[in-house]
A = this chain, B = another copy of it.
Amino acid sequence: MADSIVASLSSLSISSASTISHAAPTAEASWASQLPKGVLATKTLLFKPKTAKSAAVKPVLVVALDSTDVGSSGVLAKEIGIKEMRAAGDDVWQEWFGAAKETASPLSLSSKSAPEGSHPVTLVLDSAIPKLPSDAKLAFHAPGSQTESITIPASDFSKFIESHKIETQPVDFVELKTKTPAAATKPAAGAAPAKSAAAASGSKASAKIEDAELIGITVRKGGDFPEWYQQVLRKGDMLDYYDVSGCYILKPWSYSVWEAITKFFDSEIKKLGVQNCYFPMFVSSDVLEREKDHIEGFAPEVAWVTRAGKSELERPVAIRPTSETVMYPYYAKWIQSHRDLPLKLNQWNSVVRWEFKHPQPFLRTREFLWQEGHTAHISLAEADKEVRQILDLYRRVYEDLLAVPVVPGVKSEKEKFAGGYYTTTVEGFVPTTGRGIQGGTSHCLGQNFSKMFNISVEDPAAAEGKRGTAEGRLFVWQNSWGLSTRTIGVMVMVHGDDKGLVMPPRVSQIQLVVVPCGITARTTQEERTKIEDACADAEKELLAAGVRAKADLRESYSPGYKFNDWEMRGVPIRMEIGPKDLQNKSRMLVRRDDGTKTSQPAEGIAQHVLQLLDTIHHDMFKRADDEYRSHRKVVTQWSDFTTELNKKNHVVIPWCEVEACEDAIKDRSARVAEQGAEQEAADERAPSMGAKSLCIPFDQDQFGDVKGKKCPQCGVDAKRWTMFGRSY
C-alpha cells in the first residue's frame, strides 16, 4: 500500500517521497518519537459538518503537525465559517481513506481525487506547515501500518494538494488558541519565569516563540510542564527514549554536563584524600540481605540475574541498588588498626533500582549514573566534618556549575537515610510546579553499619589493660554520600524556557555558536567566503582562549533554522557574523538566557566572551535564587501554611521536630489540596500531594529567633526553623 502511494506520488513528479520503517509507537514513545530527526509527524483529522440532509456533505479534512494543538472542533468550525461539525465516524474514514483513523493519511486521498473540478473535501491546513524550512520532511502514516511511514518534503506536500485541486484553508492554530475562551480563563502560572511574561507582551518576542514552535517546543513551560520537560530534553538533544522502560540514552549533550560535574567533584574529593575504586555490580543475596533494616527499603526494587546463557544460576545475584552492603564486609577486613583510618573510597558507577512508579528522565530512572562515597573515621567529629565538606561540594556543583540555588540543611528523623545516623541534603526548587527536589545527600551513618559488619579497631585511647579486649575495641564512624545525574534534570527544570534548554555556561559542551548571517541570493561567492572564514577564525580564536566555541557552517540551513536549533539546545551565546559586522569590525552577541543582543568590537572579543559567560552564569543564578527566595515563605499560623503551599511555595515554620507532627502536616496539607484540586492542573502528576519536611536549613538566623515560637501545627515549643513543601 505504502509503495503504491509512493508510486502514485511519483507520477505527480513528487519523486522525493519514500517509505521508512520504524518501531511501533508505545505508550511511552509516540509515533513522532520513533521518527528520524528532521522528520515531523503529522496528524490527520476528519470532521463532518452538520448540514441539512439534502445538501451534499463536504467533509473537512484537517492536516496539522502532530505537535500542533488544534483545540476544540467548535472553535475551528467557527474559524472556518461552519456552524457546527463533529468528528467523523469509522465508516467515513474507511470510505475516504481505506484505513482506520489511527493510520489514515491525506496521501491516500489520491485515490479519491476528482478528475475534474475541485476535490470533494475541504482541507484545513496547519499554517505551520507551509512555513517549515525547505528541507523539513513531513511524515504520514503508511495506511494501516504502525511501523511504516511515508515521508515527503514539506514543499512537496503543497504540490500534492495543488495537483489534487483540494480547496485549502490555512489556519494558524497558535493564534486560534488565543481566541478560545479557555485561554482567557487559564492565565500563565504565577510562577512562570519573568522572561515568558516578557515574551507574551512584546509582539516581536511572542512571534518568535510561535516561529520556534514550528519545529521547536510546542507547549509552554508554564502550561503543560511534564510535556514541556519531555520535549525540551528530546528536542534539546539531551536524551533519547529507549526500548527498555525506565531507561534512557544519555546523548553527548547531557553526558558532557555529567562529565563537567565529575571533573569538578572528582578533583575536589581527591584533595580531601578520597581515592576511587570499583566494586563489582553484582551482589550475592547473602551479602545484600545481611542488613535487614537497610535493605528493606531497596528489596522491592532489586533486579536479579537468574540466568546466564541458557544456564539457570544456582544462586541468583542482584545488581547493586547502592553499595553499603557490598563494600562494608571488605572494610571490616581492610581496617584492622587505627592506622588504616580514615579510609575514604569513592566510585563512579551506575546503580539499578527497578522502580515501578512512573519513570521520569533524570529524576527517576531504573538505571542511573552517580558517585557513591564511603568513608570510615576514628571519631564522630572527624566524620561530621567530612559530611559537611562533601555537602558543600554538592552545593557548589549546583550553585557554581549549574547556577541552581539550593538550601543546605539536615533531614528530619523521618526523612533521613534508613540505617543512618543523620542525613544532610541540598534541596532544590522547581518554580513551575512549586515542588522541592532533593539535590544530593551526605549521610553520617554513625556506628550502625560498623557494628553490623564488625568494622572495628583497637581504640588508641583505651587504657593499656583494655587493649585487645572487646572493651578496648572502637567501632568506626562511617559516612556515605551520593550525587547522581538527577542534577541534570534539576538544571533543565530550573533554567529551561519556552524555547527549550538554557544551558549554564560552565557545563555547556558548547558555550558559543558562531552563525554566518546575511548571505542572500545576491551575495557574491567572495563575500560569502569572507563571512564563513570570519566565522571559522572566530571559532579558532575563541577555542584558543578557552571558550568552547563552534562555528555552524552547515550549508542548506538558514540562519533562522540554526538560531532555533541552538536555542533549543540552550547554547549560552550566539555570535552572528554578517556583511555589516565585517564592515564594522564588530560581532553581534546574543545571550540565550535573556535574549539581549549587543554588538562588540571584533578586537579582543575572546576576553569579552569569557567575561560575558561569567556574567551569564551569575545572572542565571541570581534570577533562579531570587525566584527560589520569593517562594520560601515563613509562616507561623497553620491557616497560612496550606495557602502558601498552594501558591507553589515552600513553607518555613518554627517546628517541634516531632515525627507524629510531620505525619499530621502531610495529611492535613494533602486534604486541603484535594479540595482545591482544580487549581493544581498545571502539574497533573502531583495533584494533591501533602507537604513533607524538606530540610532544617543550616542557616537558621535568616528566619529570626525561633525561641519561644510554637509549632503552628501542634502548638508544641518549636526547636528549629524547618522547610516544608511538596516535592519530587
Q: Which residues of A contact B (CB under 8 A)?
A: 15-18, 21-23, 34-39, 240, 242-244, 247-252, 255-256, 258-259, 275-284, 286-287, 299-311, 316-317, 319, 329-330, 332-334, 336-337, 339-340, 345, 349-350, 352, 354, 356, 366-367, 369, 454, 467-469, 509, 554
**Do B339 and A554 have beta carbons less than 8 Å apart?**
yes
Give bound CA distance, A259 to B269, whole Å.
15
Return 5 A-B CB contacts under 8 Å, by A number. A18-B468, A282-B366, A302-B309, A305-B305, A319-B319
Give bound CA distance, A613 to B18, whole Å.
62
| Among candidates B15, B280, B302, B319, residue contacting A242 with C-beta atoms closer than 8 Å | B280
**Residues of A contacting B: mostly:** mixed
Which B-chain residue is minimally distant from A243 (CB atoms)?
A: B284
Given A309-B300, A330-B249, A334-B36, A280 contacting B244 (CB threshold 8 A): yes
**Do B316 and A309 have beta carbons less than 8 Å apart?**
no
| Among candidates B252, B258, B304, B350, residue contacting A306 with C-beta atoms closer than 8 Å | B304
Given A249-B278, A275-B256, A336-B38, A304 contacting B301 (CB threshold 8 A): no
**Do A16 and B468 have beta carbons less than 8 Å apart?**
yes
Give bound CA distance, A394 to B15, whole Å.
47
- Chain B residues, CB < 8 A from A249: 277-280, 330
Give bound CA distance, A16 to B356, whole Å.
53
- Chain B residues, CB < 8 A from A330: 240, 249
Give bound CA distance, A281 to B352, whole Å.
10
- Chain B residues, CB < 8 A from A259: 276
- Chain B residues, CB < 8 A from A467: 15-16
**Do B244 and A278 have beta carbons less than 8 Å apart?**
no
**Do A304 and B307 have beta carbons less than 8 Å apart?**
yes
- Chain B residues, CB < 8 A from A255: 275-278
Known: A15-B468, A250-B279. 11 other contacts (CB 8 A): A18-B468, A38-B337, A242-B280, A244-B282, A244-B284, A249-B278, A255-B276, A256-B275, A281-B352, A282-B367, A299-B309
Give bound CA distance, A310 to B255, whole Å.
33
Tell me how far the C-beta of A515 lies from the nearest C-beta in chain B, rounded to whole angstroms: 16
Give bound CA distance, A39 to B134, whole Å.
76
Tell me how far the C-beta of A273 lies from the nearest C-beta in chain B, rounded to whole angstroms: 11
Given A22-B333, A252-B276, A305-B319, A281 contacting B367 (CB threshold 8 A): yes
Give bound CA distance, A15 to B16, whole Å.
91
**Do B336 and A36 have beta carbons less than 8 Å apart?**
yes
Give bound CA distance, A283 to B309, whole Å.
14
Give bound CA distance, A310 to B259, whole Å.
35
Which B-chain residue is minimally distant from A250 (CB atoms)?
A: B278
- Chain B residues, CB < 8 A from A306: 304-307
Tell me how far the C-beta of A335 lies from the nearest C-beta in chain B, rounded to whole angstroms: 8
Tell me how far the C-beta of A535 lies from the nearest C-beta in chain B, rounded to whole angstroms: 17
Tell me how far the C-beta of A510 lies from the nearest C-beta in chain B, rounded to whole angstroms: 11
Tell me how far the C-beta of A684 lies from the nearest C-beta in chain B, rounded to whole angstroms: 26
User: Which 3 pairs, one residue from A and one from B, show the smallest C-beta to C-beta distance?
Assistant: A308-B354, A252-B275, A247-B280
Tell me how far the C-beta of A274 lies from the nearest C-beta in chain B, rounded to whole angstroms: 9
Tell me how far the C-beta of A400 lies from the nearest C-beta in chain B, rounded to whole angstroms: 22
- Chain B residues, CB < 8 A from A367: 280-282
- Chain B residues, CB < 8 A from A350: 281, 349
**Do B336 and A37 have beta carbons less than 8 Å apart?**
yes
- Chain B residues, CB < 8 A from A22: 333
Which B-chain residue is minimally distant from A20 (CB atoms)?
A: B454
Tell me how far the C-beta of A322 lies from the nearest C-beta in chain B, rounded to whole angstroms: 15
- Chain B residues, CB < 8 A from A311: 356
**Do B304 and A308 have beta carbons less than 8 Å apart?**
yes
- Chain B residues, CB < 8 A from A316: 307
Given A256-B275, A282-B244, A308 contacting B317 (CB threshold 8 A): no
Give bound CA distance, A284 to B245, whole Å.
10
Given A36-B336, A37-B333, A308-B354, A287 contacting B243 (CB threshold 8 A): yes
Give bound CA distance, A350 to B350, whole Å.
9
Tell me how far the C-beta of A163 lies from the nearest C-beta in chain B, rounded to whole angstroms: 18
- Chain B residues, CB < 8 A from A339: 554
- Chain B residues, CB < 8 A from A258: 278
Tell me how far the C-beta of A39 lies from the nearest C-beta in chain B, rounded to whole angstroms: 7
Tell me how far the C-beta of A213 lies from the nearest C-beta in chain B, rounded to whole angstroms: 22
Which B-chain residue is minimally distant from A317 (CB atoms)?
A: B244
| Among candidates B17, B39, B256, B286, residue contacting A336 with C-beta atoms closer than 8 Å | B39
Which B-chain residue is minimally distant from A355 (CB atoms)?
A: B308
Give bound CA distance, A38 to B334, whole Å.
9
Which B-chain residue is minimally distant from A34 (CB atoms)?
A: B333
Which B-chain residue is minimally distant from A299 (CB atoms)?
A: B309
| Among candidates B240, B299, B303, B454, residue contacting A305 with C-beta atoms closer than 8 Å | B303
Give bound CA distance, A304 to B244, whole Å.
13
Give bound CA distance, A248 to B305, whole Å.
18
- Chain B residues, CB < 8 A from A280: 242, 244, 247-249, 367
Give bound CA distance, A343 to B303, whole Å.
33
- Chain B residues, CB < 8 A from A250: 277-279
- Chain B residues, CB < 8 A from A282: 244, 247, 366-367
- Chain B residues, CB < 8 A from A37: 333-334, 336, 340
- Chain B residues, CB < 8 A from A303: 305, 307-308
Which B-chain residue is minimally distant from A332 (CB atoms)?
A: B36
Give bound CA distance, A366 to B313, whole Å.
14
Give bound CA distance, A23 to B227, whole Å.
52
Give bound CA distance, A354 to B277, whole Å.
22
Give bound CA distance, A351 to B198, whole Å.
50
Tell me how far the C-beta of A133 lies from the nearest C-beta in chain B, rounded to whole angstroms: 13
Which one of A35, A243, A256 has the greatest number of beta carbons of chain B within 10 Å? A243
Tell me how far the C-beta of A556 lies from the nearest C-beta in chain B, rounded to whole angstroms: 8
**Do B309 and A354 have beta carbons less than 8 Å apart?**
yes
Which one of A286, A302, A303, A454 has the greatest number of beta carbons of chain B within 10 Å? A303
- Chain B residues, CB < 8 A from A256: 275-276
- Chain B residues, CB < 8 A from A317: 244
- Chain B residues, CB < 8 A from A299: 309
Tell me how far the C-beta of A706 lies from the nearest C-beta in chain B, rounded to whole angstroms: 42
- Chain B residues, CB < 8 A from A18: 468
Give bound CA distance, A37 to B340, whole Å.
10
| Among candidates B242, B286, B454, B554, residue contacting A243 with C-beta atoms closer than 8 Å | B286
Which B-chain residue is minimally distant from A350 (CB atoms)?
A: B281
Give bound CA distance, A162 to B308, whole Å.
56
- Chain B residues, CB < 8 A from A15: 467-469
Tell me how far the C-beta of A234 lies from the nearest C-beta in chain B, rounded to whole angstroms: 12
